[in-house]
Amino acid sequence: MRSGFFLSSLAALSLLTACSSSVELRYYQLPQPAVVSVQPNATAPVLYVEPVMVAAYLNSNSLILQTSTVELHKTSQHQWADPLDQQLQRLLVNGLQQALPAYRVTGQQPAGDVVRLLVQVEQFHGQQQGIALVSGRFHLLQGDKVHSQNFQLQLPQPDEGYPALVDTLGQGWQQAILQFAAAVGTFSPVAK
């Protein structure tokens, strides 16, 4: 009789403890590299960076972890502080302005014949084995001229945990930005 009372009391205490424990949310943002002020010439060619498009499964607040070849897990406690597409867009515009000082890089649609960059992100998540995946496709357009190219980066995380994953994803995005900048330079070379 006493053991039954003890077990039911223990079960009730466990239930109360489980109900009272709160889930602590952790918020992340991609690393922001130092920005050096770049003042391109007013007559410099314009590079319009269209809003970054992310795959539907990335279009949430949750960080994504790939747990098998076919299974993706949306984290409930580890979330983006700002929408991922907006973070990627800000970093893209700033990174391209740094990498392409001969261009006026803008995220606001200008009038006239300009070079346009459209980036589609298909993977931006971690794998359980400690790999960060950054991949997708980008398109450069100007008039009838079109250049499309895939990008795919796999970076090992130096440490375990979500902070290390976010840092590594940020490094991958910076490497992708350099690929885009190199493609812009060959697509629409600017006289030096």
**Tokens at 65, concatenated:** 């972890």
**What does DSSP assign to residue 32?**
-
Cβ neighbour number for residue 76 with a 10 Å cutoff: 11
Give the model's confidence band at 44: pLDDT under 50 very low, under 70 low, under 90 confident, else very high.
confident
Give residue 9's identity as a one-letter amino acid code. Answer: S
Find, among 26, 53, 39, the residue nearest to 136 by Cα.
Answer: 53
Q: What are 59-101's pLDDT values in tens digits?
A: 999 999 999 999 999 999 999 999 999 999 999 999 999 999 9
Longest dimension (CA), the chain: 91
Residue 182 φ then ψ, to 5°: -65, -40
Q: What are 123-173's pLDDT values in tens digits?
A: 999 999 999 999 999 999 998 999 999 999 999 999 999 999 999 999 999
Q: Which residue has the tokens 């812009």?
A: 184
First to last CA, the chain: 91
**Tokens at 78, concatenated:** 């580890």
Domains of the chain: 25-187 (3.40.50.10610)
- Contact between 82 and 99 under an 8 Å Cβ cutoff? The reply is no
- Contact between 38 and 104 under an 8 Å Cβ cutoff? The reply is no
